[in-house]
Each structure stands twice: as structure tokens, then as C-alpha cells.
Amino acid sequence: MPTPLLAPSLLAGDHANLAASAARVGQLGIPWLHLDIMDGHFVPNLTFGPETLAALRRAGSKLFFDTHLMLSEPHRYVEPFAKAGANLISIHIEPAYDHAGTLARIRALGCQAGIVLNPDTPADAVAHLLDQVDLVLVMTVQPGFGGQAFRPGMLPKLRQLAAWRRERGHTWRLEVDGGIDLANLPDCHAAGADTFVAGTSFFRSPDQAGFAATVARLA
Ligand code: DX5
Ligand code: ZN
């Protein structure tokens, strides 16, 4: 299993000062930042686009940009996000487009590639892509909004994916996203997850350093 990592979600940061929220993550020694990109179509909400990533880079952020595209047509946008400074680009399996081709394109652009499953999507849906990814993201809420309750029903899906990873000798990260906090994070870890997106619980935590230390101690 890869080293456990916390990926604070900027969605829960200060949208009037995203650079400051990103800088806070860097100051705590957390290497990853999760960036939620929504199109008002695949999900009923809007966030920000490639220009925001580019602006965060210009503001000096050296964080690993873990970019979660919640878009109906993600294949149209991977290049602008790669050029804007994304390090990893994750695309959902649910919309119809060339998934394998888009994952290959993400890698050809010099980024790591991830595949994402909504809560109602079974692990089987991505089985044919598991040798072409650097990360598998299991949504533990319906995507679109921060601050929702974690769905414990996703734990068996994590166990299934972790078992395939073991059996097939894969090295991709297994990430969870949605309602993750210090109470359910150990359950996700025990089920095989190693990468933990935390929006509300992290940015509202009175002890962000302690939060990061708890994840580091899972190793
Ligand atoms: C939800 C996004 C999440 C969101 C998580 O659609 O994909 O990354 O920021 O926020 P919390 O941790 O508050 O559930
Ligand atoms: Zn996300």
C-alpha cells in the first residue's frame, strides 16, 4: 500500500483568498492539494477552472495538484489543466467518452492519471482500466458539494479495489473523497485507502497540524 497521504480540498478553503488557503496547507508540510472542478452539468454546482490553478502556481504554490474533474466532457479539458499546473488529473467513469484514450492523453501531457467512481458505480466499472491509472478515487458522497455525510456503504468497494490491487500487483493510490474526518479515516485506511481528501473537516479543524500528523501516523 502506498504511504498514507492527506489531500486537503480547496473547495472548503477561502474562495476570496485561495492562495492563502493553499499556502496554509504547504506550511503544515502537507504535500498534496485536492482541487475540485465542477461544470454545473455532471454535478449541480460550479467551482473554478484552469486559470485558478495557474494563478495558484504564480502565487508560489509548489503543492502536488490533485485535480478532480467533475465534468461531463473531461476529455475536452485535460490539456488546459495540465498546462495550468495539474500534477494528477482524475476523470469520472460515468459519462460516455473515450476513458482509456483520455487517461493515456493525461499521461502523455506529463501528469498522473486517475479514474473516479460515484457512490452508485460498482468497482467492476473500472476493472478494465486498472493497469492504466496512477490513482483510483472512490467517492464517499455524491459529488457536487462539500460538507456531506460519509457513506460507510462504500467500504466494501474499497476492499474490493484493494484486493484487486494486491492480486494484480498494481501500485496505484486508492483515494477516498467526501465526508472524510478523523472518525471514519481509520475505517477507510483499514479497507485499503491510502489517500484521504478532507475538505470541511480539515479546513474547520482547530488543530490542522494534528490532523496531518494523524494521517502520517497511519504509515
Ligand atoms: C465533493 C468533492 C469533494 C469535497 C469534499 O464533490 O469532490 O472533494 O471537497 O468535501 P468534504 O470533505 O467537506 O466532504
Ligand atoms: Zn473531490
Specify whether 177 is catalytic: yes
Question: Averaged over 46-60, what is the pLDDT?
Answer: 98
Q: Which residues line ligand 1 (CB under 6 A)?
A: 9, 11-12, 34, 36, 68, 141, 143-144, 146-148, 177-180, 197-201
Q: Does 193 score more than 90 pLDDT?
A: yes
pLDDT at 18: 98
Question: Averaged over 26-46, what is the pLDDT?
Answer: 98
Question: Averaged over 142-150, what is the pLDDT?
Answer: 98
Q: Which of 36, 66, 134, 194 is catalytic?
A: 36
Q: Would you kindly state where each structural domain of the chain is located, as residue ranges?
A: 5-216
pLDDT at 50: 98
DSSP-based three-state secondary structure for 111: coil
DSSP string, 141-207: S-TT-SSPPP-GGGHHHHHHHHHHHHHHT---EEEEESS--TTTHHHHHHTT--EEEESHHHHT-S-
Specify whether 36 is catalytic: yes
pLDDT at 89: 99
pLDDT at 143: 98
Q: pLDDT tier at 123 (50, 70, 90 boundaries)?
A: very high
pLDDT at 3: 95
Q: Which of 66, 134, 177, 194 is catalytic?
A: 177
Domain 5-216 fold: TIM Barrel (3.20.20)
Q: Does 179 score more than 90 pLDDT?
A: yes
Q: Does 113 score more than 90 pLDDT?
A: yes
Q: Does 59 score more than 90 pLDDT?
A: yes
Q: Does 127 score more than 90 pLDDT?
A: yes
Question: Averaged over 209-219, what is the pLDDT?
Answer: 95
The pTM of this model reads 0.98
Q: Report which protein residue has its CA nearest ligand 1's atom 10.
A: 146
DSSP-based three-state secondary structure for 82: helix
pLDDT in tens, 83-107: 999 999 999 999 999 999 999 999 9
Return mean pLDDT, the chain: 98
For residue 6, give the ligand nearest its CA.
1
Ligand 1 pocket mutation pick from 18, 36, 88, 211 by most atoms within 8 angstroms of CB? 36
Angle at 114 between CA 109 and CA 116, to 5 degrees: 140
Question: Averaged over 35-60, what is the pLDDT?
Answer: 98
Q: Does 219 score more than 90 pLDDT?
A: no
pLDDT at 74: 98
